[in-house]
Amino acid sequence: DTAVSQTPKYLVTQMGNDKSIKCEQNLGHDTMYWYKQDSKKFLKIMFSYNNKELIINETVPNRFSPKSPDKAHLNLHINSLELGDSAVYFCASSQDPREVETQYFGPGTRLLVL
Amino acid sequence: QKEVEQNSGPLSVPEGAIASLNCTYSDRGSQSFFWYRQYSGKSPELIMSIYSNGDKEDGRFTAQLNKASQYVSLLIRDSQPSDSATYLCALTGTASKLTFGTGTRLQVTL
């Protein structure tokens, strides 16, 4: 069983489109995250939810909107996609916000905006 | 100045040698330090964590932390071709938010 799963794995789309990425974890963790890794491998946190509540919201364009319907799911919706949004987006989860050692990453979603 | 700095590499070492990966950071309030390994096309995986000054050993891996110098390193002994990957240094401050460096690419040659 996959601990943290993301769909889709690959996403190719045109500028201006709206797209969503879904994430699910079956680890029973309370905290979930979205990270963005750019072409230079720089990995940066975007959002974090703890028990469905937003606890970290980095300086991210408001075209990005996370949604957590329950503790096991954290989705990311992106409006009006831009070329610069092309990156790998990783979902992760951890036992709680302080237990960084338990943070487990999903396989990533490779987004290419044309 | 970047919060976490790493040499992007590639760092090339022959099989069996010691690979030394280095990381410096700017925030003196940083509390916990981590090394992640990321194979090409895969997600990062945690391989070491260190919280206090000194050395911490786990198998072939040794993490070293010097808070006064704001420096953390990872040594890989008896390097294997399977160690070829990008190694990401990361840390947390009071916010428990992971901040990553840009990673060092390690190539272990036969």
Q: Which of B23, B43, B88 to mutate to test the interface with A (most CBs of A within 10 A)?
A: B43
Residue A101, pLDDT above cutoff 90: no
A41 touches chain B (CB under 8 A): yes
Q: Best of B38, B56, B98, B99 to disrupt the A interface by mutation (most A CBs within 10 Å)?
A: B98
pLDDT over 80 at B96, yes or no: no
| C-alpha B78: how far from chain center | 16
Q: How many CB pairs under 8 A join A and B?
A: 44
Average pLDDT, chain A: 94
Mean per-residue pLDDT for B80-107? 93
Each residue of A65-79: pLDDT tens digit?
999 999 999 999 999
What stretches of chain A adopt beta strand conformation (E)?
4-7, 10-13, 19-25, 31-37, 43-50, 53-57, 64-70, 73-78, 87-94, 104-105, 109-113
Tell me if residue A73 falls in helix, strand or coil.
Answer: strand
Instruction: Name the region of B102 (left: φ>0; alpha: ψ -120 to 50; beta: rest).
Output: alpha
Q: Which residues of B touch A (CB under 8 A)?
A: 8, 32, 34, 38, 42-46, 49, 86, 88, 92, 95-100, 102-103
Q: What is the pLDDT of residues B60-71, one digit of tens each?
A: 999 999 999 999
Model pLDDT, residue A102: 85
Chain B residues with beta carbon closer than 8 angstroms to that of A40: 8, 102
What are B45's two structure tokens? 């995986």
User: Of B30 and A17, which is predicted with more confidence?
Assistant: A17
Q: Which of A40, A44, A107 sits opposite B43 (nearest CB)?
A: A107
Indicate if the pLDDT at residue A41 is higher than 90. no
pLDDT at B1: 62
| Per-residue pLDDT reduced to its tens digit, B39-56 | 999 999 999 999 999 999
Q: What is the mean pLDDT of residues B98-109?
A: 95
